[in-house]
Amino acid sequence: MTANAPADTPTTNRPNETMSDVQRYVAMQPKFAWRRHFMRGFMIRWFTFHFMWNVKVTGQENIPDKGSAMIMMSHASLIDPVLCMGTITNRFVVPMTKSENLQNPIIGPLVRWWGSYSVNRGEVDRKALLNSIELAKSGTLILIAPEGTRQEHGLAEPKDGMAYIATKADAAIIPTGISGADTWKDDFKNRRRPNIRVNFGRPFRLKTEGRTRIPREELAIMMREAMYQLALAMPDESKRGVYSDLSQMTTEYIEFIDPKTYR
């Protein structure tokens, strides 16, 4: 999930209160560590990866061990965030999730236990944006689906919130393509384990030239370039969607990084 980027002059009803909530949430991250260890090791990797899904992972070396970073995830299935949470083992990933998931009797408790944060879709959710920016600045690896919702037929046009967050936090972006997860329910009903691939592509930053405010038209170009990097990371090329024509790809605003030396 991702929030829309705010206008150049942000306004909130209670900005100080919102920022205090965000700071408290960021400070709480170490307290979630033992829960995340248990959920990743037992509930995801041991149980689901062994008994429910056959998961193949490539590109794990592209995930920096430290530093401000974000997973830019393709999103066609409910389980996509869980796959990222389980396959990334050198650090924890904190997903942004839609607020409706908090009300789900099954998903809600798991989301809260992991310590994810929510976004109200269809509006400029400034608290979600601030959570994303401050988490990334603190060195947390966050997870965002740039299109904002599931896209079963391939990559679609994104929101510009992800570029806004990445430039504000000066965060590395790891494009993450997932294939095979969209059929897991049917496979489960037919007593088959779906063959799922998760591929972490080449990490990069968005160039800002030191600017703290980026015009919307530039954010849109940045997002377009980032989406082509996500298309390159897709294990199933037929799911590249509107970014299938790689001859249209540009990298004017992209700076590739070395994950081994990134801090």
pLDDT at 4 over 50: yes
Q: How far apart are CA 222 and CA 233, in angstroms?
A: 17
Domain count, the chain: 1
Domain enclosing residue 183, as ranges: 15-256
Q: Which helix (H) or strand (E) holds 57?
A: strand 54-58
Residue 34 region by backbone torsions, left for phi larger than 0, else alpha for psi between -120 and 50, else beta? alpha
Mean pLDDT on 46-72: 96
Does some domain include residue 94? yes
The answer as to whether 34 is a domain residue is yes
pTM of the model: 0.92
Does 8 fall in a domain?
no
Structural domain includes residue 5:
no
Q: What is the pLDDT of residues 200-228, one digit of tens each?
A: 999 999 999 988 899 999 999 999 999 99
Residue 261 lies in a domain: no
Beta bridge mates, 200: 176
- Residue 262 within a domain: no
Task: Give pLDDT tens digits for 223-239.
Answer: 999 999 999 999 999 99
89-117 pLDDT, tens per residue?
A: 999 999 999 889 888 888 999 999 999 99
Q: CA separation (Å) from 26 to 129, 134, 161, 240?
A: 13, 7, 20, 34
Mean pLDDT of 66-74: 97
* Residue pair 192/205 in contact by the 8 Å Cβ criterion: no
In a domain, 173, yes or no: yes
State the maximum Cα–Cα separation within the chain, in Å, rounded to a whole number: 54
If we measure between CA atoms, which residue out of 14, 8, 7, 4 comes closest to residue 129?
Answer: 4
Look at residue 70 and tell me whether its pLDDT is greater than 60: yes
Residue 10 falls inside a structural domain: no
The predicted structure's pLDDT at residue 259:
96
76: domain CATH number is: 3.40.1130
CA distances from 183 to 86, 161, 245 (A): 19, 29, 26
